[in-house]
Amino acid sequence: MKPKTVIKSEYIAPCGMNCALCMARLIREKNQCPGCRGDDIDKPKYCVRCVIVNCDHFKETKNKYCSSKCTKFPCTRLRNLDKRYRTKYHMSMLENLKNIEDYGIRAFIRWEKERWTCTECGGTICVHRGICSSCGKNLNEELPARN
């Protein structure tokens, strides 16, 4: 039986990061990170102190994600994070957030499942390593760009 890529809305961080693809969640056997929206117990310290997750905008509004509704969007931290992820990991937080805002979280999750599911075994591709967490296949060159 093929492993299944599981992506839930609670795995999508306020910055647009899909925590289901993070190596701290996928690859760790002990102290698996619960994602940005989970409890702080097993999160890396830099995630607990994240400026975006702890932004006053989320405390003052009912928004779950960074969006054009925020007067600081995109803030410096988000722009820098987006640049690093586009350069190193072929993933854009700003593109993710635009898709969430334009099409909704369900459509975004559907696209993420298509993009980050291993064609070989159906496992989840780690965004940081480009390797399937189930079969170990290196998929860096095969990752399709999302339209």
Amino acid residing at 127: V
pLDDT in tens, 66-119: 998 888 999 999 999 999 999 999 999 999 999 999 999 999 999 999 999 999
pTM attached to this predicted model = 0.86
**Of residues 47 and 128, more confidently modeled:** 128
**Mean pLDDT over each residue of the chain, to the nearest integer:** 88
Domain ranges of the chain: 9-116
- Dihedral of the CA atoms 129, 100, 87, 142 (nearest 10)? 50
pLDDT over 50 at 31, yes or no: yes
pLDDT bin (cut points 50, 70, 90) of residue 2 is: low
- For 22, residues 6+ apart whose C-beta sits below 8 A from its C-beta are 33, 35, 126, 127, 128
Do 3 and 121 contact (CB within 8 A), yes or no?
yes
